[in-house]
Amino acid sequence: MNTMNKILILYYSGSGSTRLIGEILGKHLLNQYKVDITEITKNFNYNTIEDYSLIILGFPSYHCEAPNPVIEFVSNMPALNKRKKTYVYTTCGIYGGNGIRNLVKLLITKNLVTINYMVITGPASDGSLMFPTMMSKLLSRLTYVLRFHVTTGWKIKKNAASIDKIMKSLDFQLNIPLYKWYVPLNNIAKYFGENKYNEYKENIHIIKDRCSNCKICIKNCTSDCWSEGIYNPEFSSEHCEFCLKCIHHCPEKAIIFSDAMKDKMRLNRKFYKDLARKYFSSD
C-alpha cells in the first residue's frame, strides 16, 4: 500500500478516553486505508511521519489547553519538507476552549496543515474519583451512556466520512477554529482548579500493602513521574500532568491521592473495552 493510502493516528491519553476515540475512528477507516495507531512518547521517531499522507492527532483538554507533553511533542518536531494533511481531535469534560486552535497554529509551523477537527465531550477522569461513590457512578452512567452511545457514535461516523473526503481531495485548506472570547473567563476557575490539582498531585502515593510492584505505573507515565524504588515505585510530582493514568490503570488500585477513593471505580482498559463492545460493536 502506497503512502497516499496510509493514516497515522497519534494520541496522548490519560485514563483512556482519547485512546478509545482514536481506536474507534481507526476502525471506521480500516476498510479503505492502512491505519496505524500509536501513543505519543518521548522517543517517537519523527521520520516515520513522512510515510503517511494524513496525521490524526488526539489529546485530552486540560484546563482548555492541550497537555504539556503534546505541546512539547509538536514543538520538538522538525519541520517537514512538504505540507502534510492533519486532522485534530480532543476529548474534554465540558468544552475544549481554544486548545485545538492553539495547537493548530503550532502544527502549521511544522508544515502540518489541519484540514478539520473534532471535539468529543465526556466525563473527566477525575470526576469518577472525586465525587461520592454513588454520585460518580450515576454521573458516569449518564455521561458515558448518553454522550458515547447517542452523541459520540454518530459524530465519529460523520468525521470518519470527513476524513475519507480529506484523503481523496487535493485541497490543503487550513481550518483554524474561531477564537472563543469567553475562554479567558475560565482562568478564574483554572486558578483555583490548578491549585487544587497541585494539592492532589503532592498527595499521590502508593498503598504499600496493595502494591504488587508490577511497575505498570513506571511504564505508562509519559512524564517520567514514576521510578523504581527499593520496595515499591516512587513518585515525583514535578512534571505530573495529573492525567491520572497511573491511578486508573493500577491493577491493584494501589495508587491514590485521597483515602476516599481507595475502592472507587477506575476508568481502566477493561472499562473502555467493555464500553466499546457495548456501544460500538456493531459499527
> Where does 3-182 sit in CATH, by number?
3.40.50.360
Task: Work out the number of other CB atoms within 10 angstroms of the CB of residue 225.
Answer: 23
Contact status, residue 11 vs residue 19, Cβ threshold 8 Å = yes
* Residues 78, 38: Cα–Cα separation, whole Å: 19
pLDDT of residue 8: 98
- Cell numbers 488526539 correspond to 58
pLDDT at 274: 79
* pLDDT score for 215: 96
Query: Stretch 156-161: mean pLDDT, rounded?
Result: 90
Reduced to 3 states (helix: H, G, I; strand: E, B; else coil), residue 251 is coil
Report pLDDT digits (tens) over 46-91. 999 999 999 999 999 988 899 999 999 999 999 999 999 999 999 9
- In this prediction, residue 1 has a pLDDT band, given cuts at 50, 70 and 90, of very low
Q: What are phi and psi of 243, to 5 degrees?
A: -80, -20
Angle at 55 between CA 51 and CA 57, to 5 degrees: 140
Residue 19 has pLDDT above 80, yes or no: yes
Q: Residues spanned by CATH 3.30.70.20 within the chain?
A: 185-270
pTM for this model (two decimals): 0.88
pLDDT number for residue 266 = 87
Task: Kindly report, residue by residue over 193-211, the tens digit of the pLDDT.
Answer: 677 788 889 999 999 999 9
Residue 154 has pLDDT above 90, yes or no: no
Looking at residue 251, its pLDDT comes to: 95
Cα(78)–Cα(46) distance, rounded to whole angstroms? Answer: 8
pLDDT of residue 232: 95
Least confident of 35-44, 139-148, 207-216, 245-254: 139-148
Q: What is the pLDDT of residues 262-281, one digit of tens each?
A: 888 888 888 888 777 766 65
Average pLDDT over residues 109-135: 77
Domain 185-270 sits in CATH at: 3.30.70.20
Question: Over 50: is that where the pLDDT of 283 sits?
Answer: no
In the chain, residues under CATH classification 3.40.50.360 are 3-182
pLDDT reading at 148 higher than 70 = no
DSSP structural state of residue 65: B
Strand, helix or coil at 265? coil
